[in-house]
Chains A and B, each alone.
Chain A
Amino acid sequence: MNGKDVTFLEDTFKKFYFEHFDLLHVPDDPNQREFGYQKFNGGMNRHISLKSDKELHLLLMQNKPSDVYCSNARYMFPNLPMSEKDWQNAELIFDIDAKDLRKEHPKNNTLIKCSECNEISELGESCPKCNSTKLSFTTLTCDDCIKSTKDEVLKLNKILIDDLGINEENIKIFFSGNEGFHIYVHKSEYESVGSRERAELSDYIMFRGGIPETFGFRKFNTNKSSLPKFDDVGWNGRLAKHLFQTKSNRSKISQEILSGGYALFQKKLENFRDSIGIKIDPNVTQDIHRIFRLPGSINSKSGLTKIFVEDLKKFDPYTDACFIDDEEIEVAANCPIEFSLKKKKFGPFNNEQVSVPKFAAVYMMCKGVASCV
Chain B
Amino acid sequence: MIAIFKLSWYTIVMVNLGNDEIVKYPFLTEAGKYLNDLGFSLEQFGTDPDLKKIVDNAFERIITSSEGRIFKSDPSSNNSALPLEIFSFLIAVILLKLSGMNTLIRRFSLAEARRAEKFLEKDLMNHQDITKAKLSLQILQELFSVTVEKIDEEFTILVSDYLKHSINFHEREWKLINRKVTNGKVHLTPHETVRLVRKELDRHIYTKINSSSTPEMIIGFETYVDKLKQLAKKFEVKTVESKEFPPCIKHAIEVLEKGENLPHSGRFLLATFLLNKGQTVEQIAPLFKNAPDYNPKVTIYQLNQLSGISGTTEYKSPSCEKVKSQNLCFPVPACDTIINPLQFGRKRV
Contact = CB atoms under 8 A, between A and B. Distances in A.
Interface stretch (B93-101, B270-278, B305-313): B305-313
Given A83-B314, A193-B163, A200-B166, A209 B183 contact: no
B312 A234 contact: no
Interface in B289-336: 308, 311-314
Nearest to B311: A81
Contacts of A47: 311
Contact of B177 (A83, A193, A207): A207
A82 B176 contact: no
B187 to A, nearest CB: 9
Nearest to B319: A196
Given A46-B311, A289-B312, A211 B181 contact: no
Contacts of B314: 83
Nearest to B322: A199
Interface string B133-150: 000000000000000000
B287 interface: no
A163 B186 CA distance: 9
Given A83-B314, A193-B163, A289-B313, A214 B182 contact: no
Given A164-B159, A189-B160, A200-B167, A209 B313 contact: no
Given A197-B164, A209-B172, A289-B313, A164 B178 contact: no
Given A162-B183, A200-B163, A209 B177 contact: yes
B180 interface: yes
A197 B160 contact: yes
A16 interface: no
Contacts of B178: 209-211, 213-214
Contacts, number: 86
A82 B177 contact: no
A192 interface: yes
A203 to B, nearest CB: 6
A233 interface: yes
B180 A233 contact: yes
Contacts of B164: 193, 197
B50 interface: no
Contacts of A192: 160
B215 interface: no
Contacts of B183: 162-163, 165
Contacts of A210: 175, 177-178
Interface string A186-223: 00011011001100110110011111011000000000
A234 B182 contact: yes
A203 B160 contact: no
Interface string A217-243: 000000000000000011110000000
B329 to A, nearest CB: 16
Given A209-B172, A287-B313, A289-B313, A164 B177 contact: no
9 contacts: A46-B311, A82-B311, A82-B312, A163-B181, A197-B160, A197-B163, A207-B177, A211-B178, A213-B178
Interface of A: 46-47, 81-83, 162-166, 189-190, 192-193, 196-197, 200-201, 203-204, 207-211, 213-214, 233-236, 287, 289
Closest 3 pairs between A and B when the two form their complex, measured CB to CB: A165-B184, A197-B163, A214-B178
Given A46-B311, A201-B159, 17 more contacts: A82-B308, A83-B311, A162-B182, A163-B181, A163-B184, A166-B184, A189-B160, A200-B176, A203-B176, A203-B177, A204-B175, A207-B177, A208-B177, A209-B177, A211-B172, A233-B181, A289-B312
